[in-house]
Amino acid sequence: MATRETRHTIVAPHGVMIRAQEHLSEGPVDPTLPTVVLAHGWTMTHASWHPVIEILQNRYAVRCVTYDQPGHGESSPEADQPSVRDLGDVLKAVIDVLAPDGPLVLGGHSMGGMTIMAYAGRHPQELRSRVRGVTLVGTAASIEGRTPVPFERAIMAICSRAPRIAPGFLVPTPVQGRMMFGDGADPRDVTVAVRQVQQTKMPTIGKFFTALSEHDELESLELLGDVPTHILVGTKDRLTPVGQSRDLHARIPGSTLTELPDLGHMLTYEAREVVADALCESFPR
C-alpha cells in the first residue's frame, strides 16, 4: 500500500527545531485506531522506523508519527549538553503538535526506548490517560554495568571535539555493521543503517554518548506498568545486551519480553514483522 509522508517543523523545549513526519496511508485513516508515535535511537534518524511503518500501513489504515531526535537527521542540536530526560519533553512536544488528542501507541528503539521511559517519568498522567501500549526495542533503563566496546570512551571524547571527522574514520564501516546487527543480517539493511550513523554529526554522537552514560530511568519503570508494555531484544545485541531487557521486564509490572535468537540491535530492520506485531497488540480488536 502506498503511503504519504508530510513533514513538519516543531519547536521543542530549549528552542530545538525538530523535524517530524506524519505517515498516512493513501486512503482515509481508521478513526478507531490509535496514533502510533515512534522514537529512534542514537545515531539513527526517523528513517530507521520505515520498515516497520510499511508493514503497519499494509495491514491497517493507521496514522504514524516519527521525528528526528535533537542533533540527528534534520533536527537542530541542543545548545548545551543534552540529557535523555529532556528527550521525554521533546517527545511530548511532538505529541502535542501532531497527536494532541486521542489514544496513542508508543514505540522506541534504543535511545528512543529511553525517551519513552523519560516521557513516563516527566508526564505520568498523560501516559495513563492516553497511551494504550508501549513497545521497547533493544533498550535499557541504564547502561551502567554494560561491557564497553574497546576504546569506547576515547572514541567518544574525540567525537565531541572533532566535528569534521567522519564516523567511519574512527570506526570502520564493517565494524559498525557487526556492532549493530546479528550475523545473518540483510546487507542492504546494514548499508542503510550504517549510512545513517555516518551522516550523524560527530558532536551529536559524542554528546549523546555522555547523555546515555548518565541516563537512569529506573524510577520511571513502574509507571510503565500502567499500560501494556512489550519488550523486544536480540540475543546477539552488542549495544544493549539481553540482560538489560530482562531487567526491564523484571521491573515493569505486567510487561512481556520477547528474546529473538541470533539477532542484533537493529530489530526495526532485522525483525520488522515482530516489532510491528508488538505495536499492533494494543490496537482495538
- Helical axes 187-198 vs 173-180, angle rounded to 10°: 110
The DSSP-derived string for 95-118 is HHHH--SS-EEEEEETHHHHHHHH
- Give 45's pLDDT tier (boundaries 50, 70, 90): very high
For 120-131, the pLDDT digits (tens) are 999 999 999 999
Query: What's the grid cell of residue 172?
Result: 570502520
Reference 85, options 139, 47, 141; nearest CA is 141
- Give 154's pLDDT tier (boundaries 50, 70, 90): low
Burial 159-184 (b: 16+ CB within 10 A, else e): bbeeeeeebeebbeeeebbbbbbbee
**pLDDT, position 244:** 96
Distances from the Cα of 59 to the Cα of 62, 102, 251, angstroms: 9, 21, 32
Nearest-angstrom CA–CA distance, 234 and 16: 33
Nearest-angstrom CA–CA distance, 146 and 233: 15
Q: Could you tell me the domains of the chain?
A: 3-144+216-280 (3.40.50.1820)
Mean pLDDT of the chain: 90
Q: How many CB atoms lie within 10 A of CB 256?
A: 14
**pLDDT, position 206:** 84
For 220-279, the pLDDT digits (tens) are 999 999 999 999 999 999 999 999 999 999 999 999 999 999 999 999 999 999 999 999
**pLDDT, position 79:** 74
For 133-147, the pLDDT digits (tens) are 999 999 999 876 555
Q: How many CB atoms lie within 10 A of CB 121?
A: 18
**pLDDT, position 159:** 55
233 DSSP β-pair partners:
259
Query: What's the grid cell of residue 205?
Result: 554522537
pLDDT: is 156 or 30 the higher one?
30
For 199-223, the pLDDT digits (tens) are 998 888 888 988 888 889 999 999 9
